[in-house]
Homo-oligomer: A and B are copies of this chain.
């Protein structure tokens, strides 16, 4: 492997934004403290976590047995990672002290040889690395590496980083193609992308090579997982009995990763892997790997993604099913999978700035991801449905996984800390820079202050945005004094219908189109004001006919925000409601609605159920006229915050008036 470019520090960006400040504050003031309580089993009526207690026992500071999931350590890791991001933008000595104590615990739980995993240390010592397929050992290691990097970058403290480098070194000695090494890989991809981060802050190329090894070993024949399963007597940890050989596509291990063309199997595993693949394709200039990334990106986002940015349509294995199979009611669309999709999009943007990556990133962020969390920051959806009928969620076992209300905490609580770490690091997703082309790419329109290192020097950029409610974004540019020429590239979002007008210091400016970005190269003057005006009309969106679940229906989107109908505004059943294909959508800002949001209203029609009496089926020609109704659509991310009721993103349409 040749390394084409040395890793760079990330741009320094601080968010100051009307819309996002709420989330930043929520994560800092509520989510991180709440999750700390959860990790310490202090949330009443929620499933216990055991996560901190496990470390305490492993560190020799408490007595007891391991509790929780086999991968419970990763919840502590994700929490610490979020704390690291949060401290970077908002120092908090109390929080930092708590985190330092956790890190001391972790260090104390580490074995002499570098190994670190409370499950195996407490419950199955001696069985380390014997069930990679099921035991999440490298997965937990990966999350702790991510935490170590984030905490180091947020605080400058190296203790956890050193702990995890020791563990990485140990893993590097255990795994690999050499004699006596395990030619295997983890059942849950994660360490691959984490090793890239560890490489970024340490410059240690062994970590990058190890990540490459894990990617390339996966899917090779004979299958490591099948051989391992034979070795452990075909016994399954999860089933607690002997099982048949598994379908390796669940783990994306059915064929070599580079040959894969369609997203299959467990969705979170898949996108974590794709993220690492894109990292490696970039850092190693690996063309075939880049091609695989492009293919998998395209399949995932053009054929297996909900309009909310949700992926993984079946709860059986929390998995992808197949092209265009996107049921709205039996949906999975796990929060973590959309977060992984955001990681993947971010890495593709680092590889090749094309607006389609950022379009998807923004879609997943503003809809699936922030919709998964309640406004109070203490309740979460794991599954993010596009259609909810609360009675079906209770009474139809095929929909039990679709919850009609957000839950406090989960036995397997991967999603809430994942949301926290994503939101706490959202500043990292707004810009990327290309040193080669001396360009700043603006992917997200989020009010912020940034320092961006270009070939010409450090550019300062402030962004003011009223998105998602208003379409005008303003930048102030502070170029380096010495060399002020660079390119500012602004994303032309898929939702603006091509209405994207640029002006600088009040004068309209033409721009060059670069893969969906408006690029302007000039000698910038201190304080140049850039205005970027985007079309923000609410529109009815249709789905490709192959997506059978949405046939004859429309979703409403305004800017990046997907809307939905809720029973609270539109009655029940929501399927009785229709909207004309050319309906006018009236936008109105409602300051009182859940922190303030633009609500859309429209004429619609509804069937009158009363006339049916008791008959389930009647000739159409005997049915009464529909009645006119006023429809109210609210942002999808706010659904389910006003009591339990039906919700739908896709609305039945009728022909327009022409």
Interface residues of A (CB under 8 A from B): 298, 301-303, 305, 307, 313-317, 321-322, 324-325, 327, 329-330, 389, 391-392, 395-398, 497, 539-548, 551-552, 554-555, 573, 575-576, 578, 581-582, 607, 609, 612, 614-621, 623, 652-655
Contacts and interface: CB of A to CB of B under 8 A. Distances in A.
A545 B576 contact: yes
25 contacts: A302-B615, A302-B616, A313-B396, A315-B398, A316-B396, A316-B398, A325-B395, A389-B548, A539-B619, A540-B620, A541-B617, A541-B619, A542-B617, A542-B623, A543-B616, A543-B617, A544-B618, A546-B573, A551-B576, A551-B652, A552-B552, A552-B575, A581-B620, A620-B653, A654-B654
Contacts of A315: 398
Contact of A621 (B325, B546, B582): B582
Nearest to A551: B575
A392 B325 CA distance: 7
Contacts of A578: 552
Integer count of this chain's copies in the complex:
2
Given A551-B576, A554-B620, A582-B621, A544 B615 contact: yes
A398 to B, nearest CB: 5
Contacts of A540: 619-621
B396 A321 contact: yes
Given A322-B396, A551-B607, A552-B652, 11 more contacts: A314-B398, A321-B396, A321-B397, A322-B392, A325-B396, A330-B398, A389-B548, A542-B618, A544-B618, A545-B612, A548-B575
Nearest to A401: B398
A303 B616 contact: yes
A541 B620 contact: yes
Contact of A545 (B303, B573, B653): B573
Nearest to A607: B545
Contacts of A607: 545, 551
A313 B321 CA distance: 22
A554 B618 CA distance: 10
Contacts of A396: 313-314, 316, 321-322, 325, 327
Nearest to A329: B327
Nearest to A316: B397
A217 to B, nearest CB: 27
Contacts of A305: 616
A441 to B, nearest CB: 23
Contacts of A573: 545-546, 548, 551
A545 B541 CA distance: 24
Contact of A544 (B321, B497, B544, B609): B609
Given A325-B392, A545-B612, A314 B397 contact: yes
Contacts of A324: 616
Contacts of A621: 539-540, 582
A607 to B, nearest CB: 5
A623 B550 CA distance: 15
A241 to B, nearest CB: 9
